[in-house]
Amino acid sequence: MPEPPSHTRRSFFGIGAGAALLCTIGGEEVSLDGRDAAPRADAAAARVRRPGALAQATFPAPQPAPGGTRREYWIQARSVIWDIAPTGRDAWHDRRIRGKTNFRAFAYQPMTPGFAQPLAEPSIPGPTLYAAVGDLLVVHFRNAERKLRQAVTMHPHGVRYTPDHDGIYLGDQTRPGGFIEPGETYTYLWEATPDSVGVWPYHDHGPNHTLNTFRGLFGAIVIRGPGDNPPDREFTLFLHQLIPPVTGIDRTFQAINGRSAAGNTPTMTARVGQDVAMHVMGMDNNFHDFHVHGHRWKDASGAFVDTPSVGPNETITARFVEDNPGRWLYHCHVFSHQDGGMAGWYLVE
């Protein structure tokens, strides 16, 4: 589909006509409009200084529940030049993707203990974190990105934590985990309680959190309940747009996990008889639908579905026992999203 020549502030935020919305970064209003939006927002974030120390309450450090364990992760934030369509083609429509497809992303990277060395390259999304009810997630986080000169964090959904481990910038009320400057580290402690069972996002919630989340600082947390059997095949899919104010590119890419168009987006594989789970999250300002050709599954109410909706930071899980071999398309069923690249392959042997 043809792309409009430019994007207004309204199109960036997906809000109604006549509305005007600015991003506030450290008390400074910044328009996230136009291809120079990211450098302007980064410059504003670089001007935010560490909040002064306040006489605030102290909180006990959480511990694993009886029978639980410490699940430790080492994760750092880095900028990286990210290719949205590394094959250069849309394999579904067998067409070439023309023009620029790379931009400066901001992504989480898994590291070995003590940040000794990378376990993998920075990626969109970041590493998936796993725990069971009763466990304590111990996430050692480092802001390793000096080029963008700004504080970032990790903010979780679904788990229990004290204000020190919320990972959110709150101006003069900011707690220790809410402002991690370049070169600094912080250890987040998050409890997996019985009401944490499910799949949840995590993302940056520092001073420049809107832009940084939109350009890649997000990932997933999977919490299993007592006696839960992990699926044989498990996939995490984030549905989101990569738009000119974020990328500096003259077109919008409809993306899944930071990639656009089949052959670039994740290709999922399974075999007949396997227990398959696809966790799908929205990670932009839009609502999406998730559709897998040739398959149905039960939603939380027990009704069979094949195109459930998912909103910003919401999660749905498609889980079923595979019984239908073949090459299947999966995609967002908002047609402009589907045709703009929010689609991929699911291959069943």
Does residue 155 sit in the same domain as residue 189? yes
- Is the pLDDT confidence value at 149 over 80? yes
Does residue 20 sit in the same domain as residue 92? no
The residue range of the domain holding 38 is 9-46
**φ/ψ bin of 154: left (φ > 0), alpha (ψ from -120 to 50), beta (otherwise):** beta
65 in a structural domain: no
What average pLDDT score do residues 332-347 get? 98
What average pLDDT score do residues 80-99 get? 97
Number of residues written out for the chain: 349
| SS3 call for 79 | strand
Give me the number of domains the chain comprises. Answer: 2
Task: Provide the CA 250 distance to its chain's centre, in angstroms.
Answer: 23
- Is the pLDDT confidence value at 255 over 50? yes
Q: Facing residues of 77 across strands?
A: 108, 143
Per-residue pLDDT tens over the stretch 203-230: 999 999 999 999 999 999 999 999 999 9
28 in a structural domain: yes
C-alpha torsion sign, points 300, 303, 308, 309: negative
Does residue 109 sit in the same domain as residue 35? no
- Lookup result for tokens 């220790």: 176
Give the distance between the most distant pair of CA atoms in the chain. Answer: 62
Q: Give percent of the chain above pLDDT 90.
A: 85
Per-residue pLDDT tens over the stretch 3-59: 433 333 333 334 333 333 478 898 888 888 887 889 999 999 999 998 876 557 789
Does residue 251 sit in the same domain as residue 106? yes
For the chain, the average pLDDT equals: 92
107 in a structural domain: yes
Contact 232, 275 (CB under 8 A): yes
* Amino acid 20: pLDDT: 37
Helices and strands (DSSP H and E) totals, the chain: 5, 24
Does residue 38 sit in the same domain as residue 178? no
Contact 18, 137 (CB under 8 A): no
Does residue 37 sit in the same domain as residue 156? no
Q: Give percent of the chain above pLDDT 70.
A: 93
Q: Provide the CATH number for the domain around residue 186.
A: 2.60.40.420
2 in a structural domain: no
| Among candidate residues 323, 335, 231, the one with its CA nearest the CA of residue 277 | 231
* Amino acid 53: pLDDT: 64
In whole angstroms, what is the distance from residue 214 CA to residue 282 CA?
11
What average pLDDT score do residues 228-249 get? 96
* Amino acid 8: pLDDT: 37
64 in a structural domain: no
In whole angstroms, what is the distance from residue 107 CA to residue 282 CA?
17
| Among candidate residues 166, 316, 33, 163, the one with its CA nearest the CA of residue 308 | 316
Does residue 279 sit in the same domain as residue 184? yes
Contacts of 227 (CB under 8 A, 6+ apart): none
3 in a structural domain: no
Does residue 31 sit in the same domain as residue 155? no
Which segments of 169-263 are extended strands (E)?
Answer: 185-191, 198-203, 218-224, 233-242, 253-256
Does residue 75 sit in the same domain as residue 33? no
φ/ψ of residue 339, rounded to 5:
-75, -20
* Amino acid 31: pLDDT: 85
Where would I find the H helices in 94-247? Answer: 209-214, 244-247
Q: Which tokens sit at 288?
A: 């999406």
4 in a structural domain: no
- Is the pLDDT confidence value at 277 over 50? yes
- Is the pLDDT confidence value at 118 over 50? yes
Instruction: Judge if the upstream peptide bond of residue 66 is cis by omega within 30 degrees of 0.
Output: no
Q: Which tokens sit at 264?
A: 């670039």
Task: Provide the CA 330 distance to its chain's centre, in angstroms.
Answer: 19
Alpha-carbon distance values, 62 to 6, 55, 72, 193 (Å): 49, 21, 14, 12
What is the side-by-side strand order in the sheet with 185-191?
102-111, 70-83, 136-143, 185-191
Does residue 18 sit in the same domain as residue 77? no
Does residue 267 sit in the same domain as residue 185? yes
301 in a structural domain: yes
| Among candidate residues 209, 189, 165, the one with its CA nearest the CA of residue 77 | 209
Does residue 28 sit in the same domain as residue 99? no
